[in-house]
Structure 1
Amino acid sequence: MGEISIKINIADRVYPLKVNMEEEEVVRRAAKLINDRIKELQEKYAVKDKQDLLSMCVLHYATASLNAEKKASNADTDVAEKVYQLDSILNDFFNKV
């Protein structure tokens, strides 16, 4: 599909973007998540400076992303170990037959 032009509002600033049609919903949802998080941080810490709020928001999502990567990597390692164990069991079985 083709590109479309959209406007995204983040922290009271409008950003014109060109995105693939299939990415539009994800981009809009991401902007909503960011704005919701900024609002939560503003209420919780009484911070007024948008730059500080954006920095805190970026830190939150970067940390979440790194934790998700680590969890996925650990899951991959667990799966690889299980495959290795299964391979060993099958080799032992077929070597006895």
Structure 2
Amino acid sequence: MAKLKVNVVIAGRTYPLSVNNTEEEEGMRKAAKSINELVTKYEQNYAVSDKQDVLAMCALQFASKAAITSIITEVENTEALEKINELTKIVSSHLE
């Protein structure tokens, strides 16, 4: 399958990208839209004169959300595994 060529605009600059399918294209466009919305928010709420500073703040926010989600998922998985192990022990003890 041929790659699709996509142009996305982030903070006023156009970036040409290649994607594998329309779902990936949609994801890229949604991500660019989220970044642009956050750039606008930062520019309106903070006295930031450099786009690089705004983009760094956006990158930090998105990366921290991903890290937090990963940590929460890891904790939830650990708790679920502990409960499964407890239930396995209870079932095993009743089967003996």
User: Which TM-score band (shorter chain)?
Assistant: over 0.9
Q: Which runs of 4+ in 1 moved over 3 A?
A: none
Q: CA RMSD in A?
A: 1.0
Could you tell me which residue of structure 2 aligns to residue 8 of structure 1?
Answer: 8
Aligned residues between the structures:
95
Alignment partner of 1:20 is 2:20: yes
The gaps in structure 2 that reach 5 residues or longer are none
User: TM-score w.r.t. structure 1 length?
Assistant: 0.93
User: TM-score w.r.t. structure 2 length?
Assistant: 0.94
Shift of residue 47, structure 1, vs aligned partner: 1.2
Superposed CA offset, 1:23-59 (max 9, x none) = 0100100000000001111111021210000000001
Shift of residue 20, structure 1, vs aligned partner: 1.3
| Paired residues for 1:1-97 under 5 Å | 2-21=2-21, 22-95=23-96
What is the percent sequence identity of the aligned residues?
38
Shift of residue 8, structure 1, vs aligned partner: 0.5
The gaps in structure 1 that reach 5 residues or longer are none
